[in-house]
Amino acid sequence: MAAKISTRAILSIGIAMALAPIAQAADWYEALSDIKASADFYLRYEGASQDNALSDANALTLRTFAGIESGEYNGFSFKVEMEDSRIVLGQGDYTVGPTGYNVGEYSVIADPETTELDQAYIQYRSDNIKIKAGRQVIALDTHRFIGSVAWRQDRQTFDGISVNYKVSDNINAFYAYVNQRNRIFAEAADFDSKDHFLNVSYSNNIGKLTAYAYLLEIDNDTDNALDTYGIRYAGSYSTDSAKWLYTAEVAKQSSENATNDFDANYLLLEAGAVVSGVTAKLGYEVLGSDNGNYGFATPLATLHKFNGWSDQFLGTPAQGLKDLSATISAKFAGGKWTAIYHQFDADEASLAIDDLGSEINLLYTTKVAERFNLGVKYANYSADDFSVDTDRVWVWVSTKF
């Protein structure tokens, strides 16, 4: 015998069905009403002087980020952020080659004037997974292979989809497919691409082991694959007297084009210690060469962070690069000081290219009134068989809301 449904039950079901869209709308309204606005201002002077025919460069630029980020609805949210970079007080005597700005007149300072969409993505998040679809910042590990290049006023972003999956408390996996690289030269050097980023890590109390594969290809109907596979271990260990730091990383790269195939290796070894608030490190990095015809490449890295701040090695020489460095940093006079020395050599020397010069880097950063970050930075590159003597200086102030 079929069960009878009472009029009251039918009425209750009908009311629930009628109210469901209203409840969902209320949830959406709550998520939208929880929108957070943010703003970031970064004013910087950069000066560059090179021992060549180019005039000294001077740039005073202001970068502004302005964005909104919604609350979550069933794990979904969105973020939209605009970016603007402007020359201030007419201090724009510098060259930005890819954009055609003052080509061949001044030393290069890679900060074009631009207003563009910096980020715009939809995100889904649950307990162990985060998915982003749209324009986004992707920065992996130390930025050595995939970075945001946030040092420049127009930072690097990517169009695509990324998935970050927390397998367990110790294991994390990241994958991204990128179909456009938004580089640091406004839209003048953006590329359609077919890139795959895969990064899997295991962490414990003394370090982090990471394996990665970065498979890069510009989507321009030519053969240009650049595939890099590597493994990295970095961590620290504390004793009564010091905190010991250590890093080891190796990678192998293959580069293919219509006429040639190249292979090159990568090596990084770092060791250091923190004693009484002073950090000292020694580093040895090798971007290898394929018989002097090709140098190991990291085109999507935050390159300014590595191999000297004067930016001599944004492209690795065909002879490769060995970088022996010493770093010391400490808190002093209300801020943090850092000094770095680099000695550069070719990995596979030729008759003309062997000693690639040396560089000194100095940095001081501090906070003022807890809201403003101040910094002064200097790079001095002494050339030998490669490039020319170069001095660069930066002074900046930034704040965010």
The residue among 119, 123, 112 whose CA lies nearest residue 85 is: 112
The predicted structure's pLDDT at residue 29: 62
The predicted structure's pLDDT at residue 20: 56
Mean pLDDT by 10 residues, the chain (401 residues): 51 55 60 86 98 98 97 94 98 96 97 97 96 98 97 97 97 98 94 98 96 97 96 96 97 94 98 97 98 97 98 97 98 94 97 96 95 97 97 98 92
Count of CB atoms within 10 A of residue 110's CB? 24
What dihedral angle (degrees, nearest 10) is formed by the CA atoms of 305, 310, 315, 320? -90
Nearest-angstrom CA–CA distance, 355 and 384: 6
207-216/390-400 β-pairing: unpaired
The predicted structure's pLDDT at residue 70: 95
**342 in Cβ contact with 307 (< 8 Å):** yes
The predicted structure's pLDDT at residue 2: 45
Nearest-angstrom CA–CA distance, 141 and 135: 20
Nearest-angstrom CA–CA distance, 64 and 67: 10
Domains of the chain by range and CATH? 12-400 (2.40.160.10)
3-state secondary structure of 26: helix
What is the token pair recorded at 71?
């609350």
**101 in Cβ contact with 57 (< 8 Å):** no
DSSP string, 121-166: EEEEE-SSEEEEEEEE----TTSSSS---TTSSS--EEEEEEEEEE
Neighbour-count burial of 305, counting CB atoms closer than 10 A to its CB (0-12 exposed, 13-18 middle, 19+ buried): middle
